[in-house]
Structure formats: C-alpha cells, structure tokens
C-alpha cells in the first residue's frame, strides 16, 4: 500500500501499473496486487480506508470536545481540521494528500470512495450537525457548497504536501495554519449569502 500510494501520488493513477507497484514494493510476484487486493480499485480502497480510520479517530475526539455547539465554525472544524492534523503526523515527505487528489479526479474511484465515506459514523454526525445549523440555506445550495469545500480541502492539502516534499515555498507556515485557514474559508463558504436563482424554465442557460 505504501508503494502504491507513493507511485500514484507522484505519477498519477493511470500511469502506474500493478507490475510497477509490485516491483516498488519488492514483490517478486508480478500479480501481487491482484493476490492481496483483487484489483487496482481494491488497492486504492484499502489505502484510503487506512487513512480514513485515522482521520475518524480525530473527528470523534473533536466531536466530543464541541458537544452540542450551535457554532457553525465548530462543526466545520470537525470536518476540516482532522485532515491536516493527520497529514502532519505522517512527516515529510508524505504522499497521501496527493494520492487523495488523484483519486478524487477519477470519476469511478471518486464515486466509490465518496459512497464509502458517507456511511462512516463520524462524518455522518458532522454532516447532520452542519445540516441542522445551516437549515436556512437551501439543501441544493448546501450540497453544491459541500462539493466546493471538498475540492478546496483536498487540493489545498495536496499542494502543501507537494511543496513540503519538494522543499519549495509554502504560503502557510504549518499544517496548523493550513487547518485554521481552511476552517475559516469553508465556514465563510457555507455561510455566504445565497443569490436567488431563476427557475430552470426561465433561465437562458
């Protein structure tokens, strides 16, 4: 899994074969991926699941800390902060954020991973909590902004991870600063005013 995560992060999902993964992992059997995981998709799911479990533990801790808070920012923090906190624990270099960004740009894998994530208990609690505290925002708008927030979190973390691995400048000085900036940004996104929209039958588009 470690070899696959690194190769996928550095080269992209389509550019890496199961044979290359096996070789990078020191496996003499060229069918090692199929033997252990069934397929490349099975391997991707296993890698994502391992990190998701670590993020879930942080989310549960944060949920206990905020209790029944009515502050939207507290709930956004439970959604956002566990990701950079987990990435900070991986050291430098790490590959998970860039790997996750690759997965989320593949429509088939994105659907699989998203469906799995949405049934994880900590994330369900956070989304329900946010939904209750954003009840004045139309459900369709909340869903749209949720998609935007996911992209913002994933790609901001991936770019910081890349810069750290390459030893180049990072705009945010630490993963803690990244967590604070993302929490601010996502909170603002979710609470932004909603512009009334024309009905689809009246829209020129």
Q: Dump pLDDT digits (tens) for 32-70.
A: 777 778 888 898 999 999 999 999 999 999 999 999 999
Task: Quote the longest CA-to-CA distance of the chain.
Answer: 63
Q: Considering the chain, what percentage of its residues have pLDDT values greater than 70?
A: 95
pLDDT band at 25 (very low <50, low <70, confident <90, very high): confident
131 located within any domain: yes
For residue 30, is pLDDT > 90?
no
26 located within any domain: no
**Residue 72 structure tokens:** 């939207």
HSE, side-chain direction, 13 A CA sphere, residue 68: 0
79 located within any domain: yes
50 located within any domain: yes
Average pLDDT score, the chain: 91
153 located within any domain: yes
For residue 203, is pLDDT > 60?
no
Q: What is the pLDDT of residue 202?
A: 56
152 located within any domain: yes
Between CA 123 and CA 56 the distance in angstroms is 8
Question: Would the pTM count as exceeding 0.95?
Answer: no
Task: Identify the domain containing residue 104 by its residue range.
Answer: 40-191
How many domains is the chain partitioned into structurally? 1
> What residue has token string 């967590």?
179
19 located within any domain: no
6 located within any domain: no
Between CA 14 and CA 197 the distance in angstroms is 39
- N-to-C CA span, the chain: 45
Q: What is the pLDDT of residue 205?
A: 55
């Amino acid at each position: 899994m470690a070899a696959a995560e690194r190769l996928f992060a550095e080269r992209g999902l389509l550019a890496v074969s199961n044979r290359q993964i096996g070789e990078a992992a020191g496996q003499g059997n060229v069918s090692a991926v199929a033997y252990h995981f069934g397929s490349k998709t099975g391997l991707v799911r296993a890698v994502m699941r391992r990190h998701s479990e670590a993020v879930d533990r942080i989310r549960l801790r944060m949920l206990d800390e905020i209790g029944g808070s009515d502050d939207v920012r507290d709930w956004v923090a439970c959604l956002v902060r566990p990701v950079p906190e987990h990435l900070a624990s991986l050291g430098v270099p790490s590959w998970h954020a860039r790997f996750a960004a690759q997965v989320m740009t593949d429509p088939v894998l994105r659907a699989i991973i998203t469906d799995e994530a949405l049934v994880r208990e900590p994330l369900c609690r956070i989304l329900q909590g946010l939904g209750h505290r954003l009840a004045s925002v139309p459900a369709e708008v909340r869903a749209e902004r949720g998609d935007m927030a996911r992209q913002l979190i994933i790609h901001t973390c991936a770019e910081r991870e890349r810069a750290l691995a390459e030893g180049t400048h990072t705009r945010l000085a630490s993963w803690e600063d990244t967590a604070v900036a993302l929490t601010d940004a996502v909170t603002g996104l979710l609470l932004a005013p909603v512009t009334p929209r024309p009905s689809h039958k009246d829209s020129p588009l």
